[in-house]
Structures are given as C-alpha cells and as structure tokens.
Amino acid sequence: MTANVSTDAGRNATRPASLVHRSNWPERLAEGAVKGVALLSIAAVVLILLFVGKDALPVLLDPEVQKEVSFSSLFAPIAGSGFMWQPVSLTPKYNIVPLLVGTLKVSAIALLFAVPLSVLAAVFVSELAGKRTREIVKPAIELLAGIPSVVVGFFALVVLAGWVQRVFGTEHRLNALVAGLALSFAVCPIIFSVSEDALRAVPDSYRAAALALGSTRSQMILRVVVPAAAPGIAASVVLGFGRAIGETMIVVLASGNAALLGWSWGTSTRTVTATIAQELGEVVVGSPHYHVLFFLGAVLFVCTLGVNLTGERIVHGMRRKLGGGS
C-alpha cells in the first residue's frame, strides 16, 4: 500500500498520491462522472462544427440551393453586377467578397489603433510602472474587456460617430473608421494582457545581464526584453485579430452596414458578423439565403479557429523556450 502510494507520487510529483488501486465503486463513479462532464467541451466544439456545417453545406451540395447560389458565385464577380451582396431582390445576389473586405478593413483599422497602444501599455505596466501603479492600471484595462460590446457599439453610434465626422468630415456618419475605432476598445484588453504576460515571462536574469553590461533601461527593454517576448507579442496581435473579425454588436451598431466594396475608411461598411446578425432573424429557414448565412458562419468559425490555434501555439512555444532557457 505505502509502496504503491510512493511510486505514484514519484511518477507524478505535482499531484497528491491517491489510493488509485483500491476498488471502490463510488470513487470510480465520481471520477467517471467528472470525466464525462469534462468531455462535454470536446462535444461542444464538435457539435458546433457539425451543426453550423450541416446548414452551410447545401450551398456547395444541394441542387435546389445551387439554382440561386454556388461556390463560384460567392467569390467571383457576377455578370452585370460585379461583386454584390443583395440577398433580398428579384434576383438575389450572394457575393460575399464585399463582406470579407468589410471585415478585413474594419479589423485592420482596429488593430492599427489597438496594437501600438496596447503593446506600449504592456511595456509600461510590466517594465516601467511601480508596483502600486501596476496594481491599479492592470485591472482597469482588464475592466475594459468587461464592458458589453453592445454598450461600446451604442457609444460609438451616439457619441463617437459625431466626433469622427466633425474631425474627418467623412461622407457617411457611420463608417469603417468609427467601427474600427470602437472595435479597438474591445481588442485592446486582449493584446494588452497577452503581451504583458509575455513580457513578464522573460526571466529577470535577462534584465540583470543587460543592465550589468551597462545598457540603459530603454536599451534593456528595446533590445533584450521586447525581442525575447516578441513571439508572445506577435501572438497577442494574432489573438486580437481573431477577436476583431468575430466581434458582432460593435460593428452592427457602428459600421453603417452598407455592403459597398472598397477599401475607403470613410464609407459605410458591412462585415460578415453584422450580416449574419441582421439577416438571420428575417430569413426563411431552409432558403438559399439561410444556407448562405450559415456558410458565412462556418467561414468565420474556421477562420477564428485557425487564428486562435496559431496564437495559442506561439504562446506555448515561447513559454517552453523561455522556461527551458532560465
């Protein structure tokens, strides 16, 4: 018995030794139940994939649906009308290129503002701020993540849009710039936390070595700490991008929602998420339009999945490298 416990502890030092081998059915039942519940999260991901995919696939496979829409008509310009998203008309046009461009445009604007601000703030909090400042600033920025996106969207619609129009004199009151700015509110906390974690993961021996060699604080930060944390900072940007393309309520309220193709930041813009949010409520279940909206959802799901997996992988790789190096 004791031998059993000690080998178990030896094999797995972080866990308390347990009486694993005593056959005790309530124990096994409890373990089985806990494990069963844990598997729900795997089931959830699989079910999301299955059930969003199930209603998206008719776009590619169902001949009835394909009378109105096909894979190529989703992406290639339609004869006579070009790239056009106009699902409610005599001859519905489902070209998703304007929506994809809209999403990329708004996300790019959001990152343009959020990345420099959040990374610099992360450097400040992790390297320069005193302990007391850090303990106020860090939770405050995390609080920004706690504001519901519909609230940020409302603020953008009612207040920010007016400011932007006064400063830039944009053609449309609601446009890609307003949506991008509002979206950067939502993206900042993610980029900040992941970057800050990455900077803090750099061992203090690096800093000590740099200072001992006579570098100033700014040299130490810019040439030693930031390069060492660079993968984590890159991951923060990737994860921020993932958040930006998936955000719905902010862009629904702030972007103006006209599906115009173009890269201008001052025009009304429609994103993938906003299209789903606004149109799914009014669509006939099982119609081609319905399936195209699920197809958009599936595209979104796959994109964010890829983006997030990439981000996670970079973070883990960096942690392993820094952990092994110190």
Partner 1 sequence: MTATALPTPGGAPGARSLTTRGKAGDRVLSTLTTVATVTILVMLGVILVDIALGGAKVISWEFLSADPREGMTAGGIFPAIFGTVALTLLMTVAAVPAGVATAVYLSEYASRDALLPRLVRVCIANLAGVPSVVFGLFGLGFFISAVGRGIDRAAFGGRLTYGQPSLVSAALTLSILTLPVVVVATEEAIRAVPLELREASLALGATKFQTILRIVLPEALGGILTGGILAVSRGAGEVAPIMFTGAAYFLPSLPLHLNDQFMNLGYHVYVLATQSPDVDRTKPLLYGTVLVLLVLTFLLNLVAILIRLRTRRRLRAGA
Q: Which of residues 19-58 bind partner 1 (CB under 8 A)?
A: 19-20, 24, 26-27, 30-31, 33-35, 37-42, 44-45, 47-48, 51-52, 54-55
**What number of chain residues touch partner 1 (CB under 8 A)?**
105
Collapsing DSSP to helix, strand or coil, 82 comes out as strand
CA nearest neighbour of 278 among 302, 260, 296? 296
Collapsing DSSP to helix, strand or coil, 76 comes out as coil
Shortest reach from residue 202's CB to partner 1, in Å = 12
Alpha-carbon distance of 272 to 259, in angstroms, equals: 10
Shortest reach from residue 51's CB to partner 1, in Å = 4
Shortest reach from residue 228's CB to partner 1, in Å = 8
CA nearest neighbour of 221 among 200, 241, 238? 200
Binding of partner 1 by 60 (CB under 8 A): no
Alpha-carbon distance of 225 to 218, in angstroms, equals: 10
Shortest reach from residue 274's CB to partner 1, in Å = 9
Binding of partner 1 by 185 (CB under 8 A): yes
Q: Point out which span in 68-76, 82-90, 260-268, 306-314 binds partner 1 (CB under 8 A).
A: 306-314
Q: Which is nearer to partner 1, 77 or 148 (CB)?
A: 148
Q: Which two tokens stand for residue 170?
A: 């944009």
**Mask of contacts with partner 1, 282-301, x by CB under 8 A?**
---x-------xx--x--xx
Shortest reach from residue 84's CB to partner 1, in Å = 22
Q: Which is nearer to partner 1, 42 or 167 (CB)?
A: 42
Q: Which two tokens stand for residue 103?
A: 């999403």
272 and 96 Cβ atoms separated by less than 8 Å: yes
- C-alpha of 305 from chain center: 9
DSSP 192-240: HHHHHHHHHHS-HHHHHHHHHTT--HHHHIIIIIHHHHHHHHHHHHHHH
Measured CA angle at 187 (ends 183, 192), to 5 deg: 150
Q: Which is nearer to partner 1, 262 or 301 (CB)?
A: 301
**Mask of contacts with partner 1, 152-181, x by CB under 8 A?**
xxxx-xxx----------------------
Exposed, middle or buried: residue 129 (CB in 10 Å: 0-12, 13-18, 19+)? middle
Q: Which is nearer to partner 1, 105 or 243 (CB)?
A: 243
Q: Which is nearer to partner 1, 81 or 219 (CB)?
A: 219
Alpha-carbon distance of 251 to 315, in angstroms, equals: 28
- Which of 130, 281, 284, 324 is the binder for partner 1 (CB under 8 A)? 281
Residues numbered 74 to 133 that lie near partner 1 (CB under 8 A) are 116-118, 120-121, 123-125, 128-129
Q: In this structure, how many other beta carbons lie within 10 angstroms of the beta carbon of residue 313?
A: 13
Residues numbered 216 to 275 that lie near partner 1 (CB under 8 A) are 216-219, 221-224, 227, 239, 242-243, 245-249, 252-253, 273
Shortest reach from residue 77's CB to partner 1, in Å = 27
The label of the residue with tokens 């990345």 reads 115
Shortest reach from residue 23's CB to partner 1, in Å = 12
Q: Report helix angle 226-246 to 97-123, nearest 10.
A: 140
Shortest reach from residue 301's CB to partner 1, in Å = 5
